Amino acid sequence: MGGSLALGDWRRRVADNYARVRAAGAGEAAWAEWRATRDVLFRRHPQSPVPAVQRTRFTGMAFFPYDPSWCLLATVHEEAVPAPAARDALGAPDAAFATIGEVRAERGGQQMVLPLLWLTGYGGGLFLPFRDATNGSSTYGGGRYLIDQAKGADLGARPDGRLVLDFNFAYHPSCAHDDRWACPLAPPAATLGCEVRAGEMAPRG
């Protein structure tokens, strides 16, 4: 399978994996199945971000234990950005994003606010990366992703418009696995002051 066809197949399989999670209503069982499916893709697919020489010994990504307190519903506030402007994404000069608002969620009485981005290229798509206090130790220094609609990574929204932000599904950009990838990284404004001890941990060397 050629490069473009392989990439198309990768995106289709990723989108299918998230569609199964949405159909199941998320939760720990759906999370475990999502992880297992994803590990198979990482080990076998030609578009895996894991370097080819490492795939035969790849045993799966490490994750923090599932924590239901990190499954949040976030309201979207578009008025927070009165005049969004497209800009280059950090680390990926060919990708331009516009800030279209911010998402606000609460966990244990703590407010969590992140900028919500939109890919301005053909077709567009929501993009929600973040940084937190685990970066550079138990997680990749450049942060992780929650939503990347261009790649099919999206847990959906409730009928009232609130986005499902389940940090147990947070995952690393491809450049965390191999520096041959150039990935858009979370801007400084997308930094949470706490440790997000949920989701994917840094790739094992």
Question: What band does 84 get if pLDDT is binned at 50, 70 and 90?
Answer: very low
Q: In the predicted model, what is the mean pLDDT of the chain? A: 90
Q: For residue range 132-165, what is the model confidence (pLDDT) as tens digits?
A: 999 999 999 999 999 999 889 999 999 999 999 9
Instruction: Tell me 56's DSSP state.
Output: G
Q: For residue range 8-48, what is the model confidence (pLDDT) as tens digits?
A: 999 999 999 999 999 998 799 999 999 999 999 999 999 99
Nearest to 70 by CA among 203, 200, 202: 200
Q: CA separation (Å) from 41 to 56, 58, 60, 61, 79?
A: 12, 11, 10, 11, 39
Q: CA separation (Å) from 160 to 73, 74, 84, 115, 163?
A: 10, 11, 24, 20, 9
Q: Which residue has the higher pLDDT, 51 or 3?
A: 51
Work out the burial of residue 205: count CB atoms within 10 Å of its CB; fewer than 13 is exposed, 13-18 middle, 19 or more buried: exposed
pLDDT at residue 25 in the model: 87
Question: What band does 89 get if pLDDT is binned at 50, 70 and 90?
Answer: low
Q: Are 70 and 107 within 8 A, CB to CB?
A: yes
Span 177-195, average pLDDT: 90
Rounded Cα distance between 58 and 164, Å, is 30
Question: What band does 103 get if pLDDT is binned at 50, 70 and 90?
Answer: very high
Q: Which residue has the higher pLDDT, 204 or 166?
A: 166
Q: What is the pTM of this model?
A: 0.92
